[in-house]
Amino acid sequence: MTIQGLVDSGMFAIVNEGEERSREISTVFCCDLLSIAMGRAPAGCAWVTVMGNMNTLAVAALADAACIIMAEGATLDEAAMKKAKGQGITVMGTDLPIFEAALNVYQALKGPSGNAQA
């Protein structure tokens, strides 16, 4: 699934329309500890978090995350929104808990049978 496919699914609200919307999402990653995310977030992941500060955007860029999903109604602060726009990072939002948001992405990526979608 691409970032655009996830956007088009309507699962999440668009917070910032980034660049590279045709980029493939490889997996979903959940973490709110930036030091762990920096070292363990897989390139191309949809990162689900509640951390809405500028450092989150820096870690997303460093880890080469495909997009960020702000869960549990979390929002980007003003500096983070500016950085998302400046770096062309796609950010989505939801009121869902982190687990449910990640599960929705996982199911969209793998399908209900658990197999990769074509």
pLDDT tens per residue across span 38-70? 999 999 999 999 999 999 999 999 999 999 999
**What are 1-46's pLDDT values in tens digits?**
999 999 999 999 999 999 999 999 999 999 999 999 999 999 999 9
Has residue 113 got a pLDDT over 80? no
Q: Which two tokens stand for residue 103?
A: 């599960």
Percent of the chain with pLDDT over 70: 94
pLDDT of residue 118: 43
Specify whether the CB–CB gap between 6 and 109 falls below 8 A.
Answer: no
| Alpha carbon distance 61, 85 (integer Å) | 12
Percent of the chain with pLDDT over 90: 92
Among candidate residues 31, 25, 50, the one with its CA nearest the CA of residue 106: 25
| Alpha carbon distance 18, 21 (integer Å) | 7
| Alpha carbon distance 45, 109 (integer Å) | 11
Mean pLDDT, the chain, as a whole number? Answer: 94
